[in-house]
Amino acid sequence: MQRLYERHKAVTYPRTDSRYLTADLVATLPERVKACRVGAYAPVCGRILRSPIKAGPSFVDDAKVSDHHAIIPTEQGILPNSLEYGERKIYELVVARFLSALLPPCEYLQVEAEAVCGGERFAAKGKAIVQKGWQEIRELQKDRPLTEEEDPKGSPYGEEEESGNMPEFSKGQAVRFDGGKVTAGKTKPPAPFTEATLLAAMENPARYMEGADQGLKKTLGETGGLGTVATRADIIEKLLGSFMIEKKGQYIHLTPKGRQTLELAPKGLTSPELTARWEQKLADIAKGRARKADFEAEIRHYAADIVSDIKASSKTYRHENLTRKKCPECGKLMLEVNHKNGKMLVCQDRECGFRKVLSRATNARCPQCHKKMELSGDGESRFFSCACGYREKLSAFEKRKKESGGGVSKKEVSRYMDKMKKEAKEPMNQAFADAFAKLGL
């Protein structure tokens, strides 16, 4: 997205969470539509340009734009073939959402029928599309799955009742009951977060604030949730790097370290409500209803109280992933952790910071199940392993690939191993942890 903005000049400023445009941009919309008139969206752009563009309050509202307006294409046209694969996909998403906002609503007829049989009431409903409207864009994006926002049925937070085409009915009509059956099932628990759904939850955390004041929920909704567009992904990356969370496939799970940290930390620090309260006070300062000095003093007192409570607490942290292997630098027992690309041993002493890679995911494919394999071991004993149980020494793998005339070269494997060693030597301590260490708490 940043390259599309800086290098190609194809989209507007990307680091914004706004979904609205300002009124002064309305006059530029036809030129922006013309710039999108390439590829599969050309016919749609042509129909939009045949009549004046109506800018309604659904996407034009000066009051809902703070620093930057929503991300839209620029007037500078660009050929999709001139973009890299990832750039082209992102650009197409921006164009699709932009054109969807300019298309008319999707209109449909919804039919609901209720029948009585044996004293029991049965209901059914269906719909028939009258005008596709913005849904026409969906047909041009058949290779892209629906997001949770667009398709509630795909969301782990609830399901919509299925509806299909319905025949014509009239009130009082008799219908024939040909048969039926009773089915039993269980509701599925919410799926674990992926990076995409976690980012969405950070942007709109109100649904997870059960029992919270409605005013606090509204404040978080208006201020953009937890973090900003520019910092949310970095927050997740830091949690992965500090082993508070870990990835298993595409899903994110809490580690034992993260679970204990939540149990040991003061409750106020683990709730979005604290962010909402501070945002409310910052808004009061901006409107002249509160003093900046009072808020700063409150923050200082709160920080001092939190530190005092932690120092006075009798709770202790216990490593649940401690191994019997000693750190070669300080002699302390090491911890086995999962990082985003495999497993590693890290010293439990943060100041020592020693780490050793045990295994790492690779692009090498298993010859049996064709899934990606992990590379483990040291020196000549390095080997590939697969979840299906297949194992192969690195030397045998290189020989097999050389004989088959494909795969990676020995030079590429050597470069990959040098990269692993370099990453293993990188210090674990973060600037935030170093700053705390100097306080002598």
Distance (Å, rounded) from C-alpha 97 to C-alpha 104?
Answer: 13
Q: Look at the block and give the residue holding tokens 């935030």.
A: 432
Partners of 375 in the beta sheet?
360, 384
Cα–Cα distance, 93 to 295 (Å, whole number): 42
Buried b (16+ CB within 10 A) or exposed e, 159-173: eeeeeeebeeeeeee
* DSSP state letters, 7-41: TS--B---S-----B-GGGGGGHHHHHHHT-SGGG
DSSP of 94-156, one letter per residue? Answer: HHHHHHHHHSPPPEEEEEEEEEEETTEEEEEEEEEEEE-GGGHHHHTTTTSPPPTTT-GGGST
Catalytic site includes residue 13: yes
Cβ neighbour number for residue 232 with a 10 Å cutoff:
21
Structure tokens at 122: 């049965």
Active-site option among 13, 157, 208, 317: 13
258 neighbors 244 (Cβ within 8 angstroms): yes
Task: Calculate the CA 223 to chain-centre distance.
Answer: 19
Active site residues: 13
